Amino acid sequence: MVAWMVDRYGSDEQRARWLPDLCSAQTLGSYCLTEPGAGSDAAALGTRAERDGDHYVITGTKQFISGAGASEVYLVMARTGDTGSSGVSAFVVHRDDPGLSFGANETKMGWNAQPTRQVILDAVRVPADRRLGEEGDGFRIAMHGLNGGRLGIAACSLGGGRAALEASTAYLGDREAFGSPLINAQALRFRLAGMATELEAARSLLWRAAAALDAGDPEAQQLCAMAKRFATEAGYTVADEALQLHGGYGYLTEYGIEKIVRDLRVHRILEGTNEIMSLIIARGLTGAA
């Protein structure tokens, strides 16, 4: 997500500096938009970047930042102008920049493979050539970045749902009850069929949205919201159904299904809640603000 934004909106010098390590995963990047008091209403963010000669001084706190502390590159949205979306700019901040620190690692229901922490900017001075795009472009850059992020979360949900479906199919084939493998029970086979159909429908919508985003389709934002909303709901529902099909064993950590359920639950919140996705879709349909 960060690499795409640098590639799309960065200068030749910025791309040459940051992209090789980001694209090879030698360096990790974190997207820093959400704040303690500004989540879905991203234009209300309060982090400020004040121009000081050939530098900007950035002060504020970002909340729920995936990879915080482990990442080296932080793409920070900060206010350089008046209130509203037009006063936001984007900056590349490095982990070693003085004044940058991190909150405690959050204790989460799932997603424990990576840290989630606050990113605290206390008068962090960054050179002006670390600004991505022009002043005031930050909100547009952030929203375009979220389109790709939503497709990524949708894809993760499909992967988790598919893993849960495959585990359930194997389990029902091995587990016997009343003298026969559970997979022979038509009711259970029909449930597997329904799970597979939901995932395939979500995959088709995801491909459609990804193609629209690549092509610069004017409906891309709406389609990305649809794909994120549908795929994250489908992935979680399939994983929860898989846990049920495992019976009591599904609730045990040994089988790994409960971890998939916990990890996929947050996908309906990340990159904009599914309620916000519905708002974006409705705006696209009606043209209303």
List, by residue number, the catalytic residues.
Answer: 271
Q: How far apart are CA 180 and CA 229, in angstroms?
A: 39
Residue that is written with structure tokens 């009850």 in the block: 177
Tokens of 272: 């904009």
DSSP H or E run through 194: helix 186-215
Sign of CA pseudo-dihedral 269, 271, 273, 278: negative
Residue that is written with structure tokens 């970002």 in the block: 62
Q: What crossing angle do the helices spanning 274-286 and 220-245 adopt, rounded to 10°?
A: 140
Strand 73-79 and strand 88-94: the pairing is antiparallel
Confirm if 92 and 143 have CB atoms less than 8 A apart. Answer: no
Tokens of 61: 């706190």
